Amino acid sequence: MPSILHLDASARRSRSISRTLSQTFIDTWLAARPDDQVIRRDLAIDPPPHVTEEWIAAAFTPTEQRDMAMRDRLSWSDAAIDELSAADILVFGTPMYNYGMPSALKAWFDQVVRVGRTFSFDLSRGDWPLEPVLSGKRLVVLSARGEFGFAAEGLRGGWNHLDPHIATCARYLGVAQDAIETVAVEYQEFGDERHARSRDLAATQVKELVVSLAAAFSQ
């Protein structure tokens, strides 16, 4: 029975396209598989703390040597990593802000990509000392963009720093590059028929993606 981590990063708690897409995914999934577990993490309601010098010192101190203050500084990170570790499918609802991640999503990555928890570090590996601890997860990125043409070959493909950044960091979430699915709504700032078509297409793609992934977990 798969478990889903449902994470939303939009600062908008209403009228959010990315939240609508991620909720569509969850609702469609649970309609087909009502017994599966969904772990909820809303980064607008519970923003991740930013990394500080004290946080870094705590993270790089061996577990058995941490004092109470260090454990307190890592408590948000520990809880978020536990949620990540328990999930088989990661569903991220995230807008594109200034061509990249919302700061809340970046802060979440900074909290969960952590030495000794989600990656190991060993200089005997040479120039590639970092290795992910987690594996076998699937990632679904459901996004909204104000402009358009952010596919790799698109008009603004070179300006898309959201999808490549997520894909680069995904290995430390336990996600292989071929286990990432992305659905995006574009043209939001134009508000014309292209935006309407993009929203309709994305809603269809999300439902089709649920059918495909659910079938894979039913085998």
Q: Against a cut of 0.75, is the pTM above it?
A: yes
- What digits encode the pLDDT tens for the residues 138-167? 999 999 999 999 999 999 999 999 999 999
- What digits encode the pLDDT tens for the residues 26-71? 999 999 999 999 999 999 999 999 999 999 999 999 999 999 999 9
What's the pLDDT score for residue 1? 85
- Name the residue with higher pLDDT: 36 or 218: 36
SS (H, E, C) the chain: CCEEEEEECCCCCCCCHHHHHHHHHHHHHHHHCCCCEEEEEECCCCCCCCCCHHHHHHHCCCHHHCCHHHHHHCHHHHHHHHHHHHCCEEEEEEECECCECCHHHHHHHHHHCCECCCEEECHHHCCCCEEECCCCEEEEEEEECCCCCCCCCCCCHHHCCCHHHHHHHHHHHCEEEEEEEEEEECCCCCCCHHHHHHHHHHHHHHHHHHHHHHHHHHC
pLDDT band for position 219 (cuts 50, 70, 90) = low
- What digits encode the pLDDT tens for the residues 90-145? 999 999 999 999 999 999 999 999 999 999 999 999 999 999 999 999 999 999 99
What's the pLDDT score for residue 11? 96
Is residue 88 over pLDDT 80?
yes
What's the pLDDT score for residue 218? 81
